[in-house]
Amino acid sequence: MTKTPAADRLLDGRFLRAHLVNGHLPRLIATFDFRTPHRQGFTPVRASREFAKRGWAQLHVTSRRNDWFISPDTVLLEHCLADISRQFAYIHALGFSMGGYGALRFAAAMQARRVVIVSPQFSIHPDVTPNDTRFHQHAGGFDRALGDLTPHANAGLNGVMVVDPFLAADWRHARCITALFPALRAVRLGFGGHPAATLLRGAGHAGLIRRAALDPDADLSEVNRADCAAKRQNPEYWQRLGAFSGAQHPHLADWATTQHGRLTLSQGSATRGA
């Protein structure tokens, strides 16, 4: 088994931590923790061997709470990222959901050239996103001004935003983000859920997202092809498609329901026979 490289703790705050792995490498990928249900303190450092193999150091930012990195430690993190950015020729960022918001919020502080974000939020403050109540339970300490992405808008920030356009709340967040970061390219993974790459990851293709974060020339059509292949054999996809089609497209809904039932039955039989 390959030993996980040692991580240097650059920020050790009460609410936020930042760890650097393979800091001797010339390029840096910053990864931001995602929301964890029933979180109990800081999560372990998630270091990717793939990043190191491709010549990238990794800075992983973790949070004690599901707070979208907005806390009394936010300004400390900004200073930490600004300091570390001077050591690297290229800096990219990657994040899913809460982590996607973090990548955008701190891109300017670390002078990131590229971000890849999956189903990010524009804000979780109830006054800003009154129609998306999914994350309001975490918004008690979310300072609206400190968490506002508007002061960090960057028309030239390159990157990719992966989103499920049929998940109305996520699509609203994506549209607000695009207004501030118009150079981000949208990759639409319909009925992928939240985060939109969940089915892709379940099929063993999460590496495509990581490679897109490192390589500006990555072929994003591979992401769409792998996603389509994953969906064909995933009952959750057919269930979502059927529910969305409903009365407006009854034939499609019936077909999706049939596919969902067939896959559920076949996969259940395979599990019992294993």
Task: Give the structural domain span for 210.
Answer: 7-231
217 and 245, same domain (yes or no)? no
pLDDT at 46: 84
Q: Is 68 within the bounds of a domain? A: yes
42 and 128, same domain (yes or no)? yes
Q: Is 222 within the bounds of a domain? A: yes
Report field, pTM of the whole predicted structure over 0.75 = yes
pLDDT at 1: 31
Q: Is 2 within the bounds of a domain? A: no
Per residue in 85-107, pLDDT tens? Answer: 999 999 999 999 999 999 999 99
Domain count within the chain: 2
65 and 36, same domain (yes or no)? yes
65 and 143, same domain (yes or no)? yes
227 and 258, same domain (yes or no)? no
Q: Is 1 within the bounds of a domain? A: no
28 and 119, same domain (yes or no)? yes
pLDDT at 266: 80
Q: Is 117 within the bounds of a domain? A: yes
265 and 223, same domain (yes or no)? no
Q: Is 271 within the bounds of a domain? A: yes
66 and 55, same domain (yes or no)? yes
pLDDT at 270: 52
CATH of the domain at 114: 3.40.50.1820
pLDDT at 268: 64
101 and 17, same domain (yes or no)? yes
Q: Is 250 within the bounds of a domain? A: yes
pLDDT at 269: 56
177 and 239, same domain (yes or no)? no
pLDDT at 58: 98
- DSSP secondary structure of the chain: -PPPPPEEEEEE-SSEEEEEESTTSSEEEEEEPPP-TT--SPPPP---HHHHHTTEEEEEEEESSSSTT-STTHHHHHHHHHHHHTT-SEEEEEEETHHHHHHHHTTTTTT-SEEEEES--S---TTT-TT--TTGGG-TT--TTTT-SGGG--TT-EEEEEE-TTSHHHHHHHHHHHHH-TTEEEEE-TT--SSTTHHHHHTT-THHHHHHHH-TT--THHHHHHHHHHHHT-HHHHHHHHHHHTTTSHHHHHHHHHHHHHHHHHHHHHHHH-
Ranges under pLDDT 70 in the chain:
1-4, 268-274
